Every structure is written in C-alpha cells, then in structure tokens.
Amino acid sequence: MKTQMILNEIERVDSYKRYGKVDRVVGLLIEARGPEARIGEVCYIHTKMANETIMAEVIGFYEEKVLLMPYSSLQNIASGCLVEATKHSLKIKIGRSLIGKVIDSAGKMLDGSNLPKGLKEYPTEQAPPNPLERPRINEPIQIGVKAIDTMLTVGRGQRIGIFAGSGVGKSTLLGMIARNSSADINVIALIGERGREVKEFIERDLGPEGLKKSIVVVATSDQSALMRIKGAYTATAISEYFRDLGYNVNLMMDSVTRVAMAQREIGLAIGEPPTTKGYTPSVFALLPSLLERTGTSKNGSITAFYTVLVDGDDFNEPIADTTRGILDGHFILDRKLAEKGQFPAINVLQSVSRVMPEIVSKNRLNTVQNIRTVLATYNDNEELIQIGAYKRGSNKVVDEAILLQPHIMNALKQGMDENVDDQTGFSQLEQLVKRSNSS
C-alpha cells in the first residue's frame, strides 16, 4: 500500500523544466516568450554573464507574452536570455535562530553572511485567517508608552495605524514600542527607508536590547518596487510563522504608504489606469489582503503597528483614509505637539483604539473620558485663552481645564529611554482627576 502511494506520488511529479526567452525590456518590465507560468511565480533569468541568474516574478500577461519584474536591477538582462520557471512563489527560510538578525526581502542576511542553521521554508503569501476562527480581542498588551497604555490601550492582536507627516517621530516611537512592549518577539519591516536611516534605527532607536528579541526586514528606497512590496509580505509571513507556534508577536511596518507607492509603480508599469490621486486599483486591493493577515488566531496573536506617511499632514489622503478604514484604531502624531517638545507627539483627542472599551475596566474608561473632556474643553477655548480674551471665573469647566491641561500633558510626556509600566502611568492621571473632583 505504502509502495503504491509512493509510486503515485512519483507519477504526479512534473520533472520537466520550462524555459522561455526574453523578448524585450520596457521600463521596469521584462517581456518574455514563455515559459508556462502563473501570476506570482518566481522565475530565474539566466544572463549572458558567467553563472549569473536574476530572480524575477510573473506579474501579468500580454497577448502571448509573460510580463516579469526582477527583484534586483535590470542590468545584464539582454534579448534572448533564458527564463526558467520554478513552479512556486517566493519562499523564505524562517526559524527561532533568525531572532536578532537583519534580513532583506528575499530572506537573505543583509550583511551577506550565511543564514543560521535549523530554518524551514515558508511561503511569503498566505490567506488571511477565517473570520470565524479569529478569537475576540479580550486582553490588553502593555506597550510601555504612557500615552498609549493609559489613554489608547491596545489589545493583544489589535492592528493600529500610526499616522504622521515626515519628521514627527514615527521611527522613534516604533523603537520605544519594540524595546518596552510585553510581546514575545518583534518583527520590524523598514520599507522604502533611506539607506542611512537603517543603521540609525537599529543602533539608536531599537538598540541592542530591542534587537535581542527582534527580526528586522529591510527594503531600502533604492531597491526595486517588487522588493519593497515583498519586504512587507516577508515580514508578515515571519509574524504568521511565530503566531502559529503560539507566540504573541509585534509586527511593526514603516511604512505602509511606501508599500502602496511601490504597488502603484508596478500597476502603472503593466498598464493599469491611475485613479485616486494617481493610485491604481491594485493598490486598494493589496492593502486589505495584506493588513487582514495580522491579528488573532487560535494559536497566538500578531499585534500590528503600521506607520502611514501623510503628505502635507493631510490625514484624509487616499492611502491614509483606506488604511484607517481597515485597521482597529489609529494614533495621530501631531506636528504642533512635536514642535512644543511633547514626546511622543500623540494627539489623544484625534486618536482612537477601537477595542479599548472591551479590554479595560469601567473605572479606567471613565477616568480616560474625563481627561479627554478636559483636553477637548481646553482646545476649544485655546485661542481665547492665548490672546487673553477669556477671563478667569467666567466658566468653571474652562477654569478647571486651564488648571489641569499642562499637568495632563506633562503626565503623558515620556523620555525616549524611559519605560513606564501601565499602572504607574494610569495612577498619575487618576490622581489628577481625583484632585480636580475634590476641588
């Protein structure tokens, strides 16, 4: 019986290698006559340089031609080069020994060294979990950032967007979360970053303490659009692998905007029509399929933080708007707060954690709501207060807001190297509310 099963399996094996030939190169695209392949399949292009092969991926078809995009540069690809089909999509090697390492989008060591031993192959493209198999989010995860743990409590397995313009502290905040969070492991994807910033983030923001429990996936801005997209898929696949082993994983992606821009490049290259602000329809199909892969599962959880780079601090631009609609909450980093020296510069009034009411006590929820009311009252009257048009004693609620607002903002302020536990941060705010009620 066993022998027959083996024979049947051997008969099913396709032992043929399929080849095609490069016909022409147009912009970012390689057009080839053959081989027989499917969308997403990895192919090897054998250049006319000795022993050089370039990995490429099938991204479409036109008439009888196969459209490919390389993972690296187009250099040395010439007309007539052989294109070999591999019959599988991109796979990477993953395992516990990868923790503490920095890799590229294809799963290779960024410093050129050999991968650790004991890793297993894992496909980068996976389907999101069945919605009915996702456990509900019912417990908080400690982030180690006061403003988040107290005012915007995150649940284990929640997906959060961090929205900000350039230079407002997104990367620094991610470094704090990586160092201070109670998650078992961090997977950090640096997508479209400047090459200079990669080492800065690893050594300054993440630090040796954060790197010890992290895997960093890097796809810099000079790499091909396909490699930038694959960086996001690789980081997500690594997170899924550890989630399936029962770990509680933090996935941090900086930034999902650059993933969308890379997909726009590919879409335009294969002839998709530009729609909203130049973004192609495939961009808005990619975002939910990528972001929905994270979250809870029956084995473990992926708590995801996606940074969204907003042009000109426009929080309603297409990618920001689409991402906000998919995720379970958003943190807005405010440039005005950053300019005042408030770090992290989270505008707690404009930010929201959608699962917070389900995972914290009523007492805490009431305290947070009281603080929000104080901050909102101050913001509504700030202009009058600043120009001296408001007279003390005119409104008791406004007087209270003027008194408490600086103390609340100071309580939410935190040094980059400071790690504050959840209860300590909340106790500080609770004392402010009690002092206000007693007066």
pLDDT digits (tens, 9 = 90+) for 214-223: 999 999 998 9
Model confidence at 439: pLDDT above 60:
no
DSSP 71: S
* Domain 16-89 shares a fold with domain 363-438: no
Fold (topology level) of 363-438: Substrate Binding Domain Of Dnak; Chain:A; Domain 2 (1.20.1270)
Please tell me the pTM assigned to this model.
0.90
Span 119-129, average pLDDT: 90
Separation between Cα atoms, residue 435 and residue 349, nearest integer Å? 22
Model confidence at 4: pLDDT above 70:
no
Selection from 259, 100, 126 nearest residue 187 by Cα: 100
Span 263-267, average pLDDT: 92
Is CATH 3.50.50.60 the classification given to domain 16-89? no
> For the chain, which residues make up each domain, given as ranges?
16-89, 97-357, 363-438
CB 22 within 8 A of CB 30: yes
Identify the residue whose tokens are 């690809």: 77
Q: How confident is the model over 299-322, as pLDDT tens digits? A: 999 999 999 988 766 778 899 999
Separation between Cα atoms, residue 133 and residue 288, nearest integer Å? 18
Amino acid at 21: K
Fold (topology level) of 97-357: Rossmann fold (3.40.50)
Separation between Cα atoms, residue 305 and residue 235, nearest integer Å? 12
Selection from 251, 249, 227, 234 nearest residue 122 by Cα: 234
Identify the residue whose tokens are 């912009």: 27
